[in-house]
Chains A and B, each alone.
Chain A
Amino acid sequence: MLDSTSEHELLILGIGGQGIQLIGKTLAQAATASGRHAMLAAEYGGEMRGGPSQATVVIGERPLRSLPILASAGSAIVMHDRFCGAVPERLRPGGLLVVNTSIVDPAAAGESYRVGGLPATDIARELGKPQTAGFIMLGAFNALTGLVTHEQLVEAMRSLLPPYRIEHADSNAAALLAGSDAARELELSAAVAA
C-alpha cells in the first residue's frame, strides 16, 4: 500500500538468533521480486547470538531516496526489547508498531503509536518450531500492511534458503501463514495524536 512517491521504512529489532536479518531479507526480496525498489541495510558490528540485532527495510515504487542509516521510520517490528525497549527510538509518532508479546509488554509502548501485539514466540512453540517466531511476526506485519502478497513472501523465503536448509521451507511457510492469520484477529490500538 504505497503511492508512487512514498517510501515505506521498517525497523526490525531483536536479539541475535531470532531471525531478524532473515526476515528483513525475505521482505526486501519479496518486494524486489514484485517489481518494487527495496533496500536492506546491514547493521554493522559484532553480530552474535543474544546480542543486539537490527535490520532496516525500505520499499518504494521508484529508486529510493531513504538513507542506509534511517533518519526515522514509519513502522517497526520488535521481537525483543532487551536492547531497544518496546519502542525503537526512530519510530515516528503515529507509526505502526508490531511487538512480540511473548517477550515485550505492549503496554510499555505508550499511546503515540498504532500498536499490534502477538505472542509470536508462543505461537512458534505451539507449531513445534520455536525458531520460526520471526516469520510469524513477518507474516503478521505483511498482513497488516499489504506490502507484498502472502504468496510473494513465501516464494521469497523459499528462494533465500540454501540447499542445506531447504527442509525448513514448509515450517517457515506455516509460520508466515500463522502470523497472517493472527493478524486478522488483531485490533490495533489507535495512536493518540502527539
Chain B
Amino acid sequence: MSASAPVAEMAPLELLEGSTAIARAAILSNCRFFAGYPMSPFTGLLENMAKLMPAAGGVCINAESEIEGVNMVIGAASTGARAATGSCGQGIALMQEAVAEAALNETPLVIFNMARNQQDYFQCTRGGGWGDYRTLTLAPKDVPEAVEHTQLLFHLADKYRAPVILYGDPLIAQTRVGVRLAAPDLEPLPAKDWALDGTMGGTGKSRQVWTWAMGKVTDPGLGPDGHWRAVADKFEMIAAAEQRWESAYEQEAETLVIAFGSAAKFTEYVVDQLRAEGHSVGWFRPITLWPFPGAALAEATRSSRRVLVYELNAGQMLDDVRQFVHDRDTVRFIGGVSIHESGLSYGPLLDAPVLRDRILAAMAQPTER
C-alpha cells in the first residue's frame, strides 16, 4: 500500500532543495498560513515559506517562539484556512500542549518535523500533550516522497480534522533532487461547515471550536465526556484506515530488516546489494509511524528467522516492532544513537557500508527458530 498522492507526470523536472520542494508542495495544496521559529534543519522550510507565501496570497510569520507559532496556526486553521507550522523535534517539544488542544478541539493542521535525526519517533507517535489523541505521522524516505506526503497530509488533516506530522530529517531538508511538482489530485472533501468564518456571529448560532465542548445555553454541546469519547473513536477509526507501509522479499527472506524514513532508503539499497550477492534478506518499512502498520508487520514476519530493527536512536520504533512482530524472539536491534559532531544531523551510523556490516554480523549469529 503506497502513500502516493498522484502527481501529474508531465510537470517539468526541477532541481530543488527538499525545503523548497516541500514549501512549494504545501502551497500547491492550498496552504495559506505558515508560522514557525527558525531552528536547523527546519529553518530552510521557514525561509522558503516566507519567500513564496506572499505571492500565493498567503501569510508566513516568523513567530517569536514555537509556542506562539503553533498557536497562530490553530487560530488560522480555525477559520478554515489550510495552515502549518514546523521545527525540529526540540522545537516541537515546546508545541505539545497546543498539539493536544488541536487534536481534542479537532483543528486540522500540518506540522513539519524537519528532525535532526530519528530520536523523535516517540514524540511523533506517542505525543507529549494530554488526553486521548494521536498524531498521524508520515515518514518519507526521500525528497520526491516528501512532496507526495506533504500534499497527502494537508488532505488527511482536513479529512479527519486533526493535527498531522511529516517526519523529515536533514537529508530530506537539504538534499537537492529533481522533482516534479503539480497540484495534488485527491478526493474532494466536504465544506468546512465547522469553521469560524464570522458568518454566524450575532445569529445565536455562532460556532465553537472548543476542547471541552461545553457549548452554550442555546446549544449545550456534547460536553467533555461525549466529545472526548467521539474524538477517541475517531482516532481508533484513523488507526484502522490509514496504515501505510511497503516491503520487499518478506515472504522469501530469512532475515527481514525494518527501518523508517531515510534509514529505510539506506536499508533498501543495502538489501538489494546483499540479495545480488545471494543473501536471503528483505525489508519492511512503515510509511505511517502512527498508525503503525502492525497487522502488515505481523504478516511480513510470519516466516522470518531474524527481524533486524535499524533506526538512528536508542530503540524507539523497536517498541512497536516488538508489539506486532510474529515472534518476539526473532527481533534484534542493529540501530543506535549516532549524532553528527555539530549536533544538527546524523552521525556515522547512517551509512550504507556500516549498515551492511551490521546486517551481515547479525546474519552470522544463530537464529532462535
The chain A residues found within 8 Å of chain B, CB to CB, are: 25, 28-29, 32, 35-42, 44-46, 63-65, 67-69, 71
Q: How far is the CA of A90 from the CA of B88 in the complex (A)?
A: 31
Give the Cβ gap from A103 to chain B, nearest Cβ, in Å.
26
Q: How far is the CA of A28 from the CA of B177 in the complex (A)?
A: 9
Q: A37-B13, A44-B340 are in contact. Are A71 and B352 (CB under 8 A)?
A: yes
Could you tell me which residues of chain B, from 1 to 37, have a CB within 8 Å of some CB in chain A?
13-15
Q: Whose C-beta in chain B lies nearest to the C-beta of A66?
A: B269
Query: Is B350 part of the binding interface, using a Cβ–Cβ cutoff of 8 Å?
Result: yes
Cβ contact within 8 Å between A35 and B13: yes
Cβ contact within 8 Å between A45 and B340: yes
Cβ contact within 8 Å between B344 and A25: no
From A25, A36, A67, A69, contact of B176 by CB (8 A): A25
Cβ contact within 8 Å between B13 and A40: no
A-B contacts, 5 listed (Cβ < 8 Å) = A44-B170, A44-B174, A63-B144, A68-B171, A69-B352
Q: A44-B170, A65-B269, A69-B352 are in contact. Are A39 and B177 (CB under 8 A)?
A: yes
Cβ contact within 8 Å between A39 and B265: no
Q: Which residues of A contact B13 (CB under 8 A)?
A: 32, 35, 37
Give the Cβ gap from A55 to chain B, nearest Cβ, in Å.
10
Q: Which residues of A contact B14 (CB under 8 A)?
A: 32
Q: Whose C-beta in chain A lies nearest to the C-beta of B172?
A: A68
Give the Cβ gap from A10 to chain B, nearest Cβ, in Å.
14
Give the Cβ gap from B43 to chain A, nearest Cβ, in Å.
13
Cβ contact within 8 Å between B269 and A64: no
Query: Is B233 part of the binding interface, using a Cβ–Cβ cutoff of 8 Å?
Result: no
Q: How far is the CA of A23 from the CA of B12 in the complex (A)?
A: 23
Give the Cβ gap from B343 to chain A, nearest Cβ, in Å.
11
Give the Cβ gap from B245 to chain A, nearest Cβ, in Å.
20
Q: How far is the CA of A6 from the CA of B353 in the complex (A)?
A: 20
From B142, B177, B178, B353, contact of A71 by CB (8 A): B353
Give the Cβ gap from A80 to chain B, nearest Cβ, in Å.
21
Q: How far is the CA of A41 from the CA of B351 in the complex (A)?
A: 14
Q: A32-B15, A35-B13, A40-B15 are in contact. Are A46 and B175 (CB under 8 A)?
A: no
Cβ contact within 8 Å between B341 and A45: yes
Q: Whose C-beta in chain B lies nearest to the C-beta of A33?
A: B15
Q: How far is the CA of A45 from the CA of B170 in the complex (A)?
A: 11
Cβ contact within 8 Å between B340 and A40: no
Shortest 7 CB-CB contacts between residues of A and residues of B: A71-B352, A32-B15, A42-B174, A40-B176, A44-B345, A68-B175, A68-B171
Q: Whose C-beta in chain B lies nearest to the C-beta of A30?
A: B15
Q: Which residues of A contact B266 (CB under 8 A)?
A: 67, 69
Give the Cβ gap from A184 to chain B, nearest Cβ, in Å.
29
Cβ contact within 8 Å between B351 and A28: no
Q: How far is the CA of A71 from the CA of B355 in the complex (A)?
A: 11
Q: How far is the CA of A30 from the CA of B265 in the complex (A)?
A: 26
Q: Which residues of A contact B344 (CB under 8 A)?
A: 44
Give the Cβ gap from A37 to chain B, nearest Cβ, in Å.
5
Query: Is B203 part of the binding interface, using a Cβ–Cβ cutoff of 8 Å?
Result: no
Q: Mark B324-349, 1 if CB is under 8 A from A, else 0.
A: 00000000000000001110110000
Cβ contact within 8 Å between B353 and A28: no
Q: Whose C-beta in chain B lies nearest to the C-beta of A156?
A: B15
Could you tell me which residues of chain B, from 256 to 281, have a CB within 8 Å of some CB in chain A?
262, 265-266, 269, 272
From B178, B340, B352, contact of A39 by CB (8 A): B178
Q: A44-B170, A44-B340 are in contact. Are A39 and B345 (CB under 8 A)?
A: no
Cβ contact within 8 Å between B177 and A38: yes
Q: Whose C-beta in chain B lies nearest to the C-beta of A64?
A: B177
From A25, A32, A44, A65, contact of B178 by CB (8 A): A32
Q: How far is the CA of A89 from the CA of B265 in the complex (A)?
A: 22
Q: Which residues of B contact A32 (CB under 8 A)?
A: 13-15, 178
Interface centre among A35, A39, A44, A45 (most CB of B within 10 A): A44
Q: Whose C-beta in chain A lies nearest to the C-beta of B269?
A: A67
Q: How far is the CA of A46 from the CA of B345 in the complex (A)?
A: 12
